[in-house]
Structure formats: C-alpha cells, structure tokens
Amino acid sequence: MTAPAAPLPLPLLDFGRVSPSALRPVFITLRFGLHVLVVGLALFVMVRALLADDQYEAGITILTISFLACYAAGIAASQRNLPQWARVLWLTALLALWAGMSAMTPDAAFLAFPLFFLELHVLAAPLAVPLVVVTFGLSVWGTATHLGFDVGTILGPLISAGVAIVIGLGYRAMAQETKDRQALILDLIATREELSTASREAGTLAERERIAREIHDTVAQGLSSIQMLLHAAERDIDDERTLDKLRLARETASDNLAETRRFIRELSPPSLDEQTLPAALRRLAAAVDEQAAQAGTSTRVSYTTSGAPVTLPMSIDATLLRIAQGALANVLRHARATRAELTLSYLGDEVALDVVDDGIGFDPAAIAADPAAQLRFGLRAMRERAEREGGSIVVESHPGEGTAVSVRIPVAAAP
C-alpha cells in the first residue's frame, strides 16, 4: 500500500521558498492572487455589513478582523514549514471564523471560493478533499439560512468547488513538473561535476603512467644495463685500484636504480604503492572491516583472489581499486549487511572484480528511475569507470536478497 501523497513543496502561502524555475512567475502570481482574493472578499463582507447597518455589524466586523489576523498568522508561520497537523488546525480555525460570519450574513458565502483553493494547496489530497466537502456544506448551509434553499444555493458553491478542484489539480501537476525538472537539473549538475572529476583523475593517472613508463624504459633500463656491464667488467680487471673504482661505480648505479624504482612506485595511485592490486584490495577490505567495527555495525568484509596474478596497466589497477572503494562504501551506507566478500579474479584475457553482500538489497529499476537517489550516482560512476577501460559492470540485486556487483575488464583493452 502506498503512503498518501505529501503536499507539494510549493505551498501557496509561502512567498519565500519558490524554487528558481521558468514557472516561478506563475507560482508567485497565483499566490499573490489568492491573498488578494481572500483579503478583498473578507473586507467586502465587513464593509457591506457596515454600510447596510446590519444588525450583526459588530459581530461581523470582529469575526472578519479575526479571520484576517488568523490568515496573516498562517502566512507568517508558513516560513517555518509547518507540519501537517498545524496546517489542519489553522484551516479549522479559519473555517470556524468563516462559519460564524456565514451565520450572520449571506455575503460570507463569497469566501468559500478562495477557501477551496486554500485547502487544496495547503493540505495533501486525502485531507484536502474531505475539507472541501465540509466547506461546500457550510457554504450551502450559510446561504440557505438567509436566502432559503433553491437551485442557486447549491449550484453556486458546487460550481465553485468544481472549478477550484480542476485548477488545484492543474497547479499540483505544474508544481510536480517543476519538482521533477529541478531534480533533473541537480542530477545533470552532479553528473557534470562527477564527469569533470573523473576526467581530471583519468588525465592525471594517464600522465603518471606515461611518466612512470618513460622512466622505466629509459633511465631505469639504462641504469640496470650500466650496473650489469660494470659487474661484468669487474670480473676482467685484476688491478685493485681500478676494481675499487668499478665497484664504486656499480654500487652508485645500483643505488640510483633503486631510487629510480622508488620514483616509479610513487607515481602509482596512493593505494597502489606496493605495486600490486591484490595488496591494495587486501588493505582496503581490512580498512573497511575496521571502519564497520568502529561504527558498531555488524558488517564484516573479507577478501580473496583467484587465478595467476599478472601485471596490469596502472589505469586498470586504479579503476578496479576505485570501483571496489565505491562498492564497499555503498555496502556500509545502504546494505545493512552482515557479510561482504571482495574477490579479484585473473581470468587470462580479462580481470574480474566481484563485490557480494547479504544485505537488504534493492530494486535496480527503481533506483535507475529515481533522479535523486544517491545510490544511482555511485553505480553510474562505477559503470563509467569500467567502460573507460573497455569493460562492463553488472549489478544483480533484489529486495531482501543482497547485492552482487561484478566488473569485467579485458586485459587486451588496456593501452
């Protein structure tokens, strides 16, 4: 069973919280028009009673002023985003004051029209519609008390209520469209920022890998060759002084080669400073497991590897590490799992990364259709990372059945 629809986040009473959009002038005009209608008709009822020397002019004046004061208080309080019970209480007070006016003068029936709008836009539909029916009944009663029952007594309020409902539904549809459009804009902004960050990260990784590769292929290889040649020369030299100089040159070349290899390691992503992806993933699993324990959750993370490890391009290592970080972060934030397994598999022509948990799961179709879902952003980021390396990602999940994220990247696709 679905919950009753909440009132739209654009209450007519509040000038201050209109979301920036192309429909902003429309919403402001509708709100201003409603305020003018309520105040104008209330003053009309009071002035008519005073000019006509109505026997109830004092009571009508007091009730009208009280009605306007109550209305103004609701407008002022709407800036604090009133809960629904407070809105119902406020509308009930307005109706009570209006009913008192209706008992004294038939002119109060004119206020039923803006009250219909007020109820439809301030409350959710399940509460607003019954209140509109009550207002309609009070309007008929107030008019009939003074003018008697006839077709006009019922038909006038009935037409007013019908027009208010039609316009109210149109307003709700327009407000919902604005809300969806705003969510789409936020989604696009987040996507643009994420793509920009991913592009910078990819460029940085590519440049670091290029520099590491150049150093490895030139300086490191040259120093290694010099070291080997000097070592060979040592075997052919008998002079001790010359041999000492060759040995010193070889040791210097060896020290510089070690330093060069350290530079190459430092050009790897920070979490890959041990030069192996399995070591980085093992540390990641341990860190997430410790984080879960410190947070007091029951999630425990384990790591396994299968197949014969091979040296992968730095970009693939970094991509798999970032995907593992994102997947495990989703497990901690959303899954409420007791167990999560991180598995790296070397499959010959491709490398696979699997993250499986026994959590609450989710409906992938529902997440994909919700522009505001945080999980959607994370899954899309992981998919984009995998696709940049020519790979793919599959997410399998059902409510109550856990989640499995499987990434496959062809090794041959790496540059």
* Higher local confidence (pLDDT), 96 or 16: 96
β pairing state of 403-410 and 350-357: antiparallel
Phi and psi, residue 304, nearest 5°: -140, 155
pLDDT, one tens digit per residue, over 21-65 is 555 676 677 778 778 888 888 888 888 888 887 788 888 889 889
Structure tokens at 334: 């959303």
Q: Domain map of the chain by residue range?
A: 24-188, 192-270, 271-413
66: pLDDT strictly greater than 60? yes
Q: What is the pLDDT of residue 23?
A: 57
Q: What is the pLDDT of residue 404?
A: 92
Asked whether the beta carbons of 56 and 64 are under 8 A apart, the reply is no
Per-residue pLDDT band for 407 (boundaries 50, 70, 90) equals: very high
Q: Given a cut of 50, is residue 12 above it in pLDDT?
A: no
In 251-338, where do the E strands start and end? 300-306
Q: What angle do CA 218, 219, 221 make, to 5 degrees?
A: 70
Measured distance CA(129)–CA(165) in Å, rounded? 9
CB neighbours of 114 closer than 8 A, spacing ≥ 6?
Answer: 34, 37, 38, 41
Q: Which of 125-129, 315-319, 366-370 has the lowest mean pLDDT?
A: 366-370
How confident is the model over 212-248, as pLDDT tens digits?
Answer: 667 765 777 677 778 777 877 887 787 888 888 888 8
Give me the residues paired with residue 357 across strands.
340, 403
Residues in the chain, total: 415
Q: Supply the pLDDT for residue 302.
A: 92
In which order are the strands placed within the sheet that holds 392-397? 300-306, 339-346, 350-357, 403-410, 392-397
- In this model, does residue 19 exceed pLDDT 60? no
CATH superfamily membership of 271-413 = Histidine kinase-like ATPase, C-terminal domain (3.30.565.10)
Is the pLDDT score of 304 beyond 90? yes
Q: Which phi and psi angles does 331 have, rounded to 5°? A: -60, -45
pLDDT band at 415 (very low <50, low <70, confident <90, very high): very low
| pLDDT given at position 90 | 85
pLDDT mean across residues, the chain:
77
Which pTM value belongs to this model?
0.39
Sequence-separated contacts (24+) of 383-390 with Cβ below 8 Å: 384/195, 384/198, 385/198, 385/319, 385/322, 385/323, 386/319, 386/323, 388/198, 388/202, 388/319, 389/315, 389/316, 389/319, 389/413, 389/414, 390/414
**Most confident of the ranges 225-234, 289-298, 301-310, 314-323:** 301-310
Q: Best-predicted range by mean pLDDT among 122-131, 160-169, 267-276?
A: 122-131
Contacts of 200 (CB under 8 A, 6+ apart): none
pLDDT computed for residue 376 by the predictor: 57
pLDDT band at 2 (very low <50, low <70, confident <90, very high): very low
Q: Where is average pLDDT lowest: 88-97, 115-124, 272-281, 401-410?
A: 272-281
Q: Which of 11-25, 52-66, 195-209, 317-331 has the lowest mean pLDDT?
A: 11-25
Separation in Å, CA 393 to CA 61, 88, 206, 385, 407: 71, 50, 22, 9, 4
pLDDT in tens, 362-399: 887 776 666 545 555 667 778 888 888 899 999 898 88
Cα–Cα distance between 54 and 297 in angstroms, integer? 72
